[in-house]
Each structure stands twice: as C-alpha cells, then as structure tokens.
A and B are shown apart, each in its own frame.
Chain A
Amino acid sequence: MASTVIGAGITIEGEVTADDDVVVQGTIRGKLTSRDAVTVESGAVVEADVASGPLSVAGAVTGNITSSDRVDLQAGAKVVGNVKATRITIADGAQFKGNVDMDV
C-alpha cells in the first residue's frame, strides 16, 4: 500500500513532497518530490517537475524528470520533458519528447 495516493478525481495545485512512495491517479500541477518510488498511473496528469526514486509512468507527464534510480516509461505513457536517471526504459507505445541524460 502506497503511503500517498492522489486519487483519480483529485487535483493538487502546488508542491507535493514525500518521504515515502507516491501513486498519482489524478492531477498534480506544480512540483512533485519523493525520496521513494513514484508511480504515475494511466489517466493521471502530472504537469510538474518530478524528482524521485524509481519512477514508473503510464500516464502523462509534462516537466523535467530526475530520478536517483530508474525511470520506466510504459506503453501509453506521454512524457514531454527531459529525463535524467541512471537507468531508463521506454516501452513500445510510449510517447516521449525530450532529452535523455544517463549521466555517462
């Protein structure tokens, strides 16, 4: 069970900072920071810079992504922004526009 769940009908306009994992099913506009895993589920909209541990995206993210671990863009994901992480996967069917920085 995730410690923070932003439900499908919920919109947060502002800054979300978490120590534990975050699951986004709704909308976040602003900034999303977590020390642990972040999951952007299908149907979710994140218009924010995201800084997190492992990040899994199946929804829409507009903003720069920085992960201390890995980023997985799954089929159906729509990401516009730069991605910085040590390990990145982009699944067939994911839409992505931006730069990838794997710190090499």
Chain B
Amino acid sequence: MAQARTKNTVSGDASLIGAGTRVRGRVTGDGDVVIGGHVEGDVVVRGDVTIEDGARCTSNVEGHAVTVAGELAGDVSASGPVVVGATARLRGNVRGAQFSMEDGASFAGRVECEFELPDGLGEDHAAPARRR
C-alpha cells in the first residue's frame, strides 16, 4: 500500500521548493519535484511530484506519481499513482492510473481512474456500465 511520503531530501535531478520559498509561475521539465513551500502556478513535470505537509499550492499538477500531503487547489493529472495523504487538503479533480486516499484527508473533487477489470468481470458485465 502506498504511503504519503514526506521526504526532506533530494537527490540527482530532483528539485525541492523549500518551506520558506514561494513560486509564482509555471514549473516545467524533467525530474522529480518536492514542494514544501507555496506554489501559485501550474506544475508540469515528467517525474514525480510530492506536495508535503505544510505546503500550499494553487496549481494544476501534472506528473508521474503524484503525492499530496499538503494543501492543493487544482487538478491533478498523473501517468502513475496518485496518493492523497492523511494531512492533505485537496480541492480539484484527480486523474491517474491508481488512486488512494488515507484516513484524515480532506478532498473535494472528482476521481477519474482508468483501470483493468479483474478476471471474472468481463465484457458482459462491464458493457452496460460503459453505455452512455
């Protein structure tokens, strides 16, 4: 089971927006981003995005694995798993490959996840639910 990470160290190409740092604007590129401060503006990266406890973001977030343990107002679009931690306050829609939310999290929005139906729930069962 995925847990919300609240790491304070970065390595390699990772970026860290520290607790005393405020970014107003777009954050784009490759590599992981850990946000502990304030970000007003979209975050679009190819790596993982972690919004730590205490962080405040007004951003649409796009990344691979997205972990939210702080405050986020904006949509999340992840190519990997989305984890909403116990300390998270999330207002926005979430799209990801997987979605998990811990007890204590506050969340207002939609969850859109595409997933494979397990064996036994074949086309016969799935078809009516997909009908528009």
Which positions in A face B, CB cutoff 8 Å?
1-20, 22, 26-27, 30
* A residues near B41, Cβ cutoff 8 Å: 14
Q: How many residues of B contact A (CB 8 A)?
A: 30
Which positions in B face A, CB cutoff 8 Å?
8-10, 12-33, 37, 41, 45-47
CA of A60 to CA of B16, assembled, Å: 21
What's the minimum C-beta distance from B40 to chain A, rounded to whole angstroms? 8
- Given A10-B33, A10-B45, are A5 and B10 also a contact pair (CB < 8 Å)? yes
- Given A9-B31, A10-B45, are A17 and B14 also a contact pair (CB < 8 Å)? no
The total number of A-B Cβ pairs within 8 Å is 91
* B residues near A12, Cβ cutoff 8 Å: 23, 25-28
- Given A10-B31, A10-B33, A10-B45, are A4 and B25 also a contact pair (CB < 8 Å)? no
CA of A99 to CA of B37, assembled, Å: 34
Task: Identify 21 residue pairs between A and B in the complex whose beta-carbon atoms are under 8 Å apart, listed by A's number.
Answer: A3-B16, A3-B18, A4-B37, A5-B16, A7-B33, A8-B31, A9-B47, A10-B15, A10-B28, A10-B30, A11-B28, A12-B28, A13-B26, A13-B28, A14-B26, A14-B41, A17-B21, A17-B24, A19-B20, A19-B21, A30-B25
CA of A11 to CA of B20, assembled, Å: 19
* B residues near A9, Cβ cutoff 8 Å: 13, 29-31, 45-47
What's the minimum C-beta distance from A44 to chain B, rounded to whole angstroms? 12
CA of A8 to CA of B46, assembled, Å: 13
A17 touches B31 (CB 8 A): no
Question: Which of B8, B26, B29 has the most C-beta atoms of chain A within 10 angstroms of its own C-beta?
Answer: B29
A18 touches B20 (CB 8 A): yes
- Given A1-B9, A5-B10, are A20 and B18 also a contact pair (CB < 8 Å)? yes
CA of A20 to CA of B25, assembled, Å: 19
What's the minimum C-beta distance from B105 to chain A, rounded to whole angstroms? 26
A4 touches B17 (CB 8 A): yes
| In-complex Cβ contact of B25 among A7, A13, A19, A26 (8 A) | A13
